[in-house]
Amino acid sequence: MLFLAAPIEPFDWNRIFLSEDMPPLFLLEIAFRCLLTYLFIIGALRVTGRRGVRQLSLFELSIILALGSAAGDAMFYDDVPILHVLVVFLMVSGLYLLFNRLTERFPRFSDWLEGAPVLLVEDGRIHLENFTKQNLTQKELFGEMRQLQVEHLGQVRRAYIEATGDISLYFFEDKDVKAGLPIWPERVADTHRRVQEAGSHACAQCAHVQELARGEATKCRVCQHDSWVVACSALRIA
Protein backbone atom coordinates (compact mmCIF):
# COMPACT_ATOMS: atom_id res chain seq x y z
CA MET A 1 0.00 0.00 0.00
CA LEU A 2 1.21 3.49 -0.83
CA PHE A 3 -0.45 5.08 2.20
CA LEU A 4 -0.57 3.75 5.72
CA ALA A 5 -3.87 3.44 7.60
CA ALA A 6 -2.37 5.32 10.54
CA PRO A 7 0.65 7.61 10.76
CA ILE A 8 3.81 6.20 12.33
CA GLU A 9 5.84 8.32 14.68
CA PRO A 10 9.55 7.71 14.04
CA PHE A 11 11.60 6.59 17.02
CA ASP A 12 8.57 5.84 19.16
CA TRP A 13 10.48 3.96 21.87
CA ASN A 14 7.35 2.43 23.38
CA ARG A 15 6.46 0.93 19.99
CA ILE A 16 10.04 -0.17 19.26
CA PHE A 17 10.82 -1.85 22.58
CA LEU A 18 7.36 -2.91 23.75
CA SER A 19 4.17 -2.99 21.73
CA GLU A 20 1.11 -0.89 21.24
CA ASP A 21 -1.08 -4.01 21.50
CA MET A 22 0.61 -6.00 24.29
CA PRO A 23 1.02 -4.95 27.92
CA PRO A 24 4.53 -4.93 29.46
CA LEU A 25 3.59 -7.99 31.55
CA PHE A 26 3.53 -10.02 28.30
CA LEU A 27 7.35 -9.99 28.50
CA LEU A 28 7.08 -12.44 31.39
CA GLU A 29 4.91 -14.72 29.27
CA ILE A 30 7.52 -14.58 26.50
CA ALA A 31 10.16 -15.69 29.01
CA PHE A 32 7.90 -18.55 30.11
CA ARG A 33 7.26 -19.57 26.47
CA CYS A 34 11.00 -19.56 25.78
CA LEU A 35 11.61 -21.84 28.76
CA LEU A 36 8.98 -24.36 27.62
CA THR A 37 9.97 -24.42 23.95
CA TYR A 38 13.65 -24.68 24.89
CA LEU A 39 12.82 -27.76 26.96
CA PHE A 40 10.92 -29.14 23.94
CA ILE A 41 14.03 -28.65 21.78
CA ILE A 42 16.26 -30.38 24.33
CA GLY A 43 13.80 -33.28 24.47
CA ALA A 44 13.71 -33.57 20.66
CA LEU A 45 17.51 -33.58 20.43
CA ARG A 46 17.60 -36.31 23.07
CA VAL A 47 15.31 -38.38 20.85
CA THR A 48 17.36 -37.80 17.68
CA GLY A 49 20.58 -38.73 19.51
CA ARG A 50 24.13 -37.48 19.02
CA ARG A 51 23.85 -37.39 15.24
CA GLY A 52 21.40 -34.55 15.59
CA VAL A 53 24.16 -32.18 16.65
CA ARG A 54 26.80 -33.43 14.19
CA GLN A 55 26.94 -33.07 10.41
CA LEU A 56 23.30 -33.23 9.30
CA SER A 57 21.77 -35.22 6.47
CA LEU A 58 18.99 -33.65 4.40
CA PHE A 59 16.37 -35.48 6.46
CA GLU A 60 17.85 -34.38 9.78
CA LEU A 61 18.20 -30.80 8.57
CA SER A 62 14.52 -30.72 7.55
CA ILE A 63 13.56 -31.84 11.07
CA ILE A 64 15.70 -29.16 12.72
CA LEU A 65 14.13 -26.49 10.49
CA ALA A 66 10.63 -27.72 11.32
CA LEU A 67 11.34 -27.69 15.05
CA GLY A 68 13.02 -24.31 14.83
CA SER A 69 10.03 -22.76 13.09
CA ALA A 70 7.58 -24.17 15.64
CA ALA A 71 9.75 -23.14 18.58
CA GLY A 72 10.48 -19.63 17.31
CA ASP A 73 6.85 -18.74 16.70
CA ALA A 74 5.75 -20.00 20.10
CA MET A 75 8.39 -18.02 21.95
CA PHE A 76 6.91 -14.58 21.32
CA TYR A 77 3.63 -14.80 19.37
CA ASP A 78 0.71 -14.51 21.74
CA ASP A 79 -1.70 -16.33 19.40
CA VAL A 80 0.38 -19.55 19.20
CA PRO A 81 -0.77 -21.98 21.94
CA ILE A 82 1.99 -23.96 23.63
CA LEU A 83 -0.08 -27.14 23.38
CA HIS A 84 -0.04 -26.84 19.59
CA VAL A 85 3.74 -26.56 19.63
CA LEU A 86 4.00 -29.62 21.85
CA VAL A 87 1.96 -31.62 19.30
CA VAL A 88 4.32 -30.48 16.54
CA PHE A 89 7.35 -31.58 18.54
CA LEU A 90 5.82 -34.95 19.36
CA MET A 91 4.86 -35.55 15.71
CA VAL A 92 8.24 -34.52 14.29
CA SER A 93 10.14 -36.59 16.86
CA GLY A 94 7.86 -39.55 16.17
CA LEU A 95 8.43 -39.22 12.42
CA TYR A 96 12.18 -39.15 13.02
CA LEU A 97 12.04 -42.42 14.95
CA LEU A 98 9.72 -44.00 12.35
CA PHE A 99 11.90 -43.00 9.41
CA ASN A 100 15.00 -44.25 11.22
CA ARG A 101 13.38 -47.67 11.59
CA LEU A 102 12.35 -47.67 7.94
CA THR A 103 15.85 -46.73 6.75
CA GLU A 104 17.35 -49.55 8.83
CA ARG A 105 14.92 -52.10 7.40
CA PHE A 106 14.78 -50.88 3.78
CA PRO A 107 18.19 -49.76 2.41
CA ARG A 108 16.65 -48.46 -0.82
CA PHE A 109 14.33 -46.22 1.17
CA SER A 110 17.36 -44.90 3.04
CA ASP A 111 19.15 -44.13 -0.23
CA TRP A 112 16.08 -42.30 -1.52
CA LEU A 113 15.58 -40.32 1.67
CA GLU A 114 19.13 -39.38 2.62
CA GLY A 115 21.11 -40.20 -0.50
CA ALA A 116 23.74 -42.89 -1.09
CA PRO A 117 27.54 -42.54 -1.08
CA VAL A 118 28.85 -41.77 -4.58
CA LEU A 119 32.29 -42.69 -5.93
CA LEU A 120 34.09 -39.55 -7.14
CA VAL A 121 37.73 -40.65 -7.51
CA GLU A 122 38.94 -44.12 -8.48
CA ASP A 123 42.62 -45.08 -8.75
CA GLY A 124 43.72 -41.47 -8.90
CA ARG A 125 41.27 -40.44 -11.62
CA ILE A 126 38.02 -38.45 -11.34
CA HIS A 127 34.94 -40.54 -12.09
CA LEU A 128 33.39 -37.99 -14.44
CA GLU A 129 30.09 -39.81 -14.94
CA ASN A 130 29.38 -39.66 -11.19
CA PHE A 131 31.05 -36.32 -10.57
CA THR A 132 28.97 -34.40 -13.10
CA LYS A 133 25.75 -35.60 -11.43
CA GLN A 134 26.72 -34.03 -8.09
CA ASN A 135 26.12 -30.44 -7.05
CA LEU A 136 29.87 -30.09 -6.63
CA THR A 137 32.66 -28.27 -8.43
CA GLN A 138 36.22 -29.45 -8.90
CA LYS A 139 37.35 -26.50 -6.81
CA GLU A 140 35.16 -27.63 -3.88
CA LEU A 141 36.30 -31.25 -4.18
CA PHE A 142 39.97 -30.30 -4.21
CA GLY A 143 39.42 -27.94 -1.27
CA GLU A 144 37.97 -30.81 0.80
CA MET A 145 40.90 -33.04 -0.15
CA ARG A 146 43.50 -30.44 0.77
CA GLN A 147 42.07 -30.35 4.28
CA LEU A 148 42.92 -34.07 4.48
CA GLN A 149 46.53 -33.41 3.40
CA VAL A 150 46.16 -34.63 -0.17
CA GLU A 151 48.73 -33.16 -2.57
CA HIS A 152 47.74 -34.92 -5.78
CA LEU A 153 45.18 -37.48 -6.94
CA GLY A 154 47.84 -40.14 -7.49
CA GLN A 155 47.78 -40.60 -3.70
CA VAL A 156 44.04 -41.36 -3.66
CA ARG A 157 42.76 -44.89 -4.25
CA ARG A 158 39.07 -44.03 -3.81
CA ALA A 159 37.06 -40.98 -2.77
CA TYR A 160 33.35 -40.90 -1.94
CA ILE A 161 30.89 -38.12 -1.23
CA GLU A 162 28.72 -39.27 1.67
CA ALA A 163 25.01 -38.61 2.22
CA THR A 164 25.99 -35.81 4.64
CA GLY A 165 28.17 -34.10 1.99
CA ASP A 166 31.44 -35.13 3.66
CA ILE A 167 34.27 -36.50 1.51
CA SER A 168 35.72 -39.90 2.53
CA LEU A 169 39.15 -40.88 1.21
CA TYR A 170 41.10 -44.13 0.90
CA PHE A 171 44.80 -43.76 0.15
CA PHE A 172 47.39 -45.80 -1.68
CA GLU A 173 50.30 -47.13 0.34
CA ASP A 174 53.49 -45.20 -0.30
CA LYS A 175 54.89 -47.92 -2.56
CA ASP A 176 51.75 -47.77 -4.75
CA VAL A 177 51.49 -43.98 -5.11
CA LYS A 178 51.64 -42.95 -8.76
CA ALA A 179 51.83 -39.70 -10.69
CA GLY A 180 48.61 -37.74 -10.48
CA LEU A 181 46.89 -34.39 -10.93
CA PRO A 182 48.19 -31.91 -8.31
CA ILE A 183 45.41 -30.12 -6.42
CA TRP A 184 47.28 -27.14 -4.99
CA PRO A 185 45.51 -24.02 -6.34
CA GLU A 186 48.62 -22.60 -8.01
CA ARG A 187 49.34 -25.95 -9.69
CA VAL A 188 45.73 -26.45 -10.85
CA ALA A 189 45.73 -22.98 -12.42
CA ASP A 190 48.96 -23.72 -14.35
CA THR A 191 47.36 -25.54 -17.28
CA HIS A 192 48.68 -25.75 -20.84
CA ARG A 193 47.32 -26.98 -24.14
CA ARG A 194 50.81 -27.40 -25.57
CA VAL A 195 53.28 -29.27 -23.38
CA GLN A 196 56.33 -27.23 -22.41
CA GLU A 197 58.46 -30.07 -21.04
CA ALA A 198 58.37 -33.79 -21.82
CA GLY A 199 57.11 -36.08 -19.05
CA SER A 200 54.00 -37.20 -17.21
CA HIS A 201 51.05 -34.82 -17.51
CA ALA A 202 47.59 -35.07 -15.97
CA CYS A 203 44.37 -34.08 -17.71
CA ALA A 204 42.97 -30.98 -15.98
CA GLN A 205 39.45 -32.38 -16.20
CA CYS A 206 39.53 -36.11 -15.37
CA ALA A 207 43.11 -36.41 -13.98
CA HIS A 208 44.11 -39.18 -16.43
CA VAL A 209 47.92 -39.25 -16.72
CA GLN A 210 49.73 -39.56 -20.05
CA GLU A 211 53.35 -39.35 -21.12
CA LEU A 212 53.66 -36.37 -23.47
CA ALA A 213 56.53 -35.05 -25.56
CA ARG A 214 57.73 -31.47 -25.48
CA GLY A 215 55.58 -29.23 -27.68
CA GLU A 216 52.87 -31.87 -28.05
CA ALA A 217 49.25 -30.72 -28.14
CA THR A 218 46.80 -33.57 -27.78
CA LYS A 219 43.49 -34.55 -26.22
CA CYS A 220 42.99 -36.80 -23.21
CA ARG A 221 42.33 -40.41 -24.22
CA VAL A 222 39.58 -40.70 -21.57
CA CYS A 223 37.56 -37.46 -21.71
CA GLN A 224 38.92 -35.70 -24.84
CA HIS A 225 39.83 -32.60 -22.82
CA ASP A 226 42.88 -30.72 -24.12
CA SER A 227 44.31 -28.94 -21.04
CA TRP A 228 47.21 -30.48 -19.14
CA VAL A 229 49.01 -30.02 -15.83
CA VAL A 230 52.45 -31.38 -14.99
CA ALA A 231 51.79 -34.50 -12.91
CA CYS A 232 53.06 -34.85 -9.35
CA SER A 233 54.30 -38.07 -7.72
CA ALA A 234 55.07 -36.89 -4.16
CA LEU A 235 54.31 -39.25 -1.27
CA ARG A 236 51.63 -38.28 1.20
CA ILE A 237 52.86 -36.75 4.47
CA ALA A 238 49.96 -36.44 6.95
- How confident is the model over 70-128, as pLDDT tens digits? 777 777 676 667 777 777 778 877 877 887 788 788 888 777 766 788 999 999 999 99
- Residue 53, pLDDT > 70, answer no
Alpha carbon 176 to chain centroid distance?
31
In a domain, 5, yes or no: no
- Residue 186, pLDDT > 60, answer yes
Q: What is the dihedral of CA 157, 161, 165, 167, to 10 degrees?
A: 0
- Residue 51, pLDDT > 50, answer no
Distances (CA, A) of 164 to 61, 114, 127, 192: 10, 8, 20, 36
46/144 same-domain check: no
- Residue 38, pLDDT > 80, answer no
147/194 same-domain check: yes
Most confident listed range (44-48, 60-64, 117-121, 132-136): 117-121
- Residue 147, pLDDT > 50, answer yes
In a domain, 10, yes or no: no
**pLDDT, tens digit, for every residue of 220-236?**
999 999 999 999 999 98
Number of domains in the chain: 2
Task: Please tell me the chain's helix, strand, coil percentages from 3-state DSSP, rounded to the nearest 5.
Answer: 45, 15, 40
25/95 same-domain check: yes
